[in-house]
């Protein structure tokens, strides 16, 4: 597979996660942004969309791991290790759904903390303003949620921090695909 095709996996990973999460939300009559975590969609006993949601996370994680260990490694060596951990931890969130608490909580924390660390390292490694903005947006959403500035389910900071990080991941894939050196 040539480099451009591997770069497409950097787009497919985030897009797959977003697509399956949105489809799961649409088909889940119980989900509420005001009271749920995204992981509630993957609870194998309580969610009718759990197979769909968890499959999407597994597939997304797979795409991100392959992207991180192939072409992204040449683009951002240190961040590639963290991106592989993001992909793996996303797969662990799907594999160990909420039935497996406290393990599910631990792998979820690993996923969200690694999003932040990857944004920091990528911002430094590539001098990426987008990754720095993702860090501020993601961290800010968790802080504001934690201190009760807004009232919503934990799904809100989960979605905000994920999508913010996905932005620089996808931008890096586009840069690699079009052979641009900076992000």
Sign, CA torsion 150/156/162/165: negative
pLDDT score recorded for residue 49: 98
Sequential pLDDT tens for the chain (183 residues): 677 899 999 999 999 999 999 999 999 999 999 999 999 999 999 999 999 999 999 999 999 999 999 999 999 999 999 999 999 999 999 999 999 999 999 999 999 999 999 999 999 999 999 999 999 999 999 999 999 998 899 999 999 999 999 999 999 999 999 987 555
pLDDT score recorded for residue 180: 72
Q: What is the pTM of this model?
A: 0.94
| Domain residue ranges of the chain, discontinuous segments joined by + | 3-177
Count of H helices and E strands in the chain? 7, 0
pLDDT in tens, 4-20: 899 999 999 999 999 99
Nearest CA-CA partner of 94 in 169, 36, 21:
21
pLDDT score recorded for residue 79: 98
Residues with Cβ within 8 Å of 177's Cβ and at least 6 positions away in sequence, in order, are 4, 7, 8, 11
pLDDT in tens, 28-44: 999 999 999 999 999 99
């Amino acid at each position: 597979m040539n480099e451009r095709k591997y770069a497409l996996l950097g787009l497919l990973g985030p897009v797959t996660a977003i697509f399956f999460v949105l489809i799961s939300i649409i088909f889940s009559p119980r989900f509420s942004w005001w009271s749920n975590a995204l992981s509630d969609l993957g609870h194998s006993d309580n969610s009718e969309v759990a197979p769909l949601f968890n499959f999407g996370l597994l597939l997304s994680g797979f795409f991100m791991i392959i992207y991180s260990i192939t072409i992204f490694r040449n683009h951002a060596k240190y961040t590639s290790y963290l991106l592989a951990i993001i992909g793996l931890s996303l797969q662990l969130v799907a594999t160990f759904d909420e039935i497996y608490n406290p393990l599910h909580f631990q792998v979820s924390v690993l996923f969200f903390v690694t999003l932040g660390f990857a944004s920091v390292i990528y911002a430094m490694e590539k001098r990426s303003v987008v990754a720095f903005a993702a860090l501020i947006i993601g961290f800010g959403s968790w802080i504001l949620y934690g201190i009760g500035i807004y009232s919503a389910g934990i799904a809100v900071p989960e979605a905000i921090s994920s999508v913010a990080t996905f932005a620089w991941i996808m931008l890096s894939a586009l840069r690699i695909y079009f052979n641009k050196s900076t992000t």
